[in-house]
Amino acid sequence: MYQYKEVKDGVYVLSLDNHVEIASALKAFCEEKHILAGNILGLGAISEATFRFLNPATKAYVDKTFQEQMEITNLTGNISEKDGAPYLHLHITASRKDYTCIGGHLLTARINGACELLVEAFPGASIGRYPDAETGLNLYKF
């Protein structure tokens, strides 16, 4: 699913295998390394992805699937903890063949090419979340 190198304590450079789904691969990596707080940064190429948009008025997520080749121009995320497991919050911007970009909260994305990521863990740290009634979001609980 992935190969990685720990370049310094808690900092990993990852290469995901072709055709892998990015969000589930990242979750599996965080589970393997017991990461409950950290940052994610990445780029790559995908051919199918589902993004979500939170409508603040309804507090409902609207999901949309795109089936086309795109470059991940930026994947940004953070890692926290929910119910004892890694909880990933991922956002993505991707460029289409006409060079325009689309983006949103990343639900799933399937690699078609490569995906190179940096995962920076905060060893020993854990950041929890709580469901916030006003926004409908799972916010940081410090």
Q: Give whichever of 82 and 105 is closer to Fe ion, judged by the CB atom.
A: 105
**Whole-angstrom Cα distance, residue 94 to residue 104?**
9
Instruction: Name the residue number minimizing CB distance to Fe ion.
Output: 105
Q: Give whichever of 101 and 114 is closer to Fe ion, judged by the CB atom.
A: 101
Least Cβ distance, residue 105 to Fe ion (angstroms):
4
Least Cβ distance, residue 3 to Fe ion (angstroms):
28
Q: Give whichever of 27 and 105 is closer to Fe ion, judged by the CB atom.
A: 105
In sequence order, what DSSP letters do the residues of 23-86 get, joined into one string? HHHHHHHHHHHT-BSEEEEEEEEEEEEEEEEEETTTTEEEEEEEEEEEEEEEEEEEEEEETTEE
Task: Give the footprint of Fe ion on this chain (CB under 5 A).
Answer: 105
